[in-house]
């Protein structure tokens, strides 16, 4: 039996290691560190088809992540996909910003790319972006390709 002093030290060390591991999981493995929920504003965009876009999909400008998709719903009257996104409050966007859905790599996840326009006005909370281009659905493309070939 070791004396109780070393035992206590070892227990302390063990608990410290365990808590470090918990912190490591929270900060390094999960997305907790990239969260800044309080400093965001919400804007919306209507897409004809939002494809495989998911809640928490990234939103980028020129390849830099500026926010996340927060909600995807269907507009009941016009049958378009309403995508709400949280944008980091540091980035102010012109009112004529356009949004397009792209795929990262051939099989990768889908994300929204914003293309800022030249307007003087800025997008504010809950504004709607008008210029959007929908997700490219691979099957549609292939289908089009085949029907065009046949008609020739």
Q: How many residues bind another protein (CB under 8 A)?
A: 27
Nearer to another protein, 59 or 123 (CB): 59
User: What is the C-alpha to C-alpha distance for residues 140 and 146, in angstroms, rounded to an integer?
Assistant: 10
Among 3, 64, 76, 107, binds another protein (CB under 8 A): 107
User: What is the C-alpha to C-alpha distance for residues 24 and 19, in angstroms, rounded to an integer?
Assistant: 8
Pairing of strands 128-129, 40-47: parallel
- The 2-21 site mask, x for binding another protein (CB under 8 A), equals --x--xx-xx-xxx-xxx-x
Cβ neighbors of 97 (< 8 A, separation 6 or more) are 114, 115, 116, 117, 123, 129, 131
CB of 26 to another protein, least distance (A): 6
Question: Token digits for 136?
Answer: 């490219």
CB of 138 to another protein, least distance (A): 15
Among 3, 29, 63, 120, binds another protein (CB under 8 A): 29
Nearer to another protein, 35 or 145 (CB): 35
């Amino acid at each position: 039996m070791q004396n109780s002093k070393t035992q206590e030290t070892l227990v302390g060390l063990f608990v410290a290691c365990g808590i470090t591991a918990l912190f490591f999981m929270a900060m390094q493995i999960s997305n907790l560190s990239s969260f800044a929920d309080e400093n965001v504003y919400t804007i919306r965009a209507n897409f004809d088809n939002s494809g495989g876009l998911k809640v928490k999909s990234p939103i980028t400008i020129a390849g830099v992540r500026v926010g996340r998709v927060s909600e995807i719903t269907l507009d009941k009257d016009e049958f378009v996909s309403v995508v709400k996104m949280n944008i980091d409050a540091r980035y102010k966007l012109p009112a004529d910003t356009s949004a397009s859905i792209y795929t990262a790599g051939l099989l990768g996840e889908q994300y929204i790319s914003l293309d800022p326009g030249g307007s003087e006005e800025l997008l504010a909370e809950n504004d709607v972006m008008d210029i959007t281009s929908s997700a490219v659905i691979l099957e549609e493309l292939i289908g089009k390709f085949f029907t065009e070939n046949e008609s020739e």
